[in-house]
Amino acid sequence: MRMRKRAQYLRQLRELQLRDIGGLAVELRRLRRERPELVRAKVAAAAATSAELQALERALHERHPLRELREAGISGACPRCGSVHGSRDRYCAACGQALRATR
């Protein structure tokens, strides 16, 4: 159930990120300005959200446990509560469980 909630959240986040990128592009064009570093950062954030969402959707569709999923930026699931955590996370955002260092 947590994976489905996370996927729903990521869908909403991705939609907001894409709208933000579109709005930024329109405003930059209107003001005749260029901010390629800002656009790149926003696109990279949206791409990371999309990659995580795709990984979750595949895991949900194929019914594989998340710990078997290998996707850039996603390290696995918390051993205590099962929440998704990133490869750079040291603690679970949901329950505070210390996560194993993976470097």
pLDDT digits (tens, 9 = 90+) for 1-23: 788 899 999 999 999 999 999 99
Torsion, Cα 29 31 34 40, to 10 degrees, reads -60
Closest CA to 56 of 66, 46, 47: 66
Q: What is the pTM of this model?
A: 0.57
Q: What per-residue confidence (pLDDT) applies to 74?
A: 64
E runs forming strands in the chain: 74-77, 84-86
Residue 30 corresponds to which amino acid?
R
Q: Under 8 Å CB-to-CB from 18, ≥6 apart: which residues? A: 46
Q: Phi and psi of 98, rounded to 5°? A: -65, 135
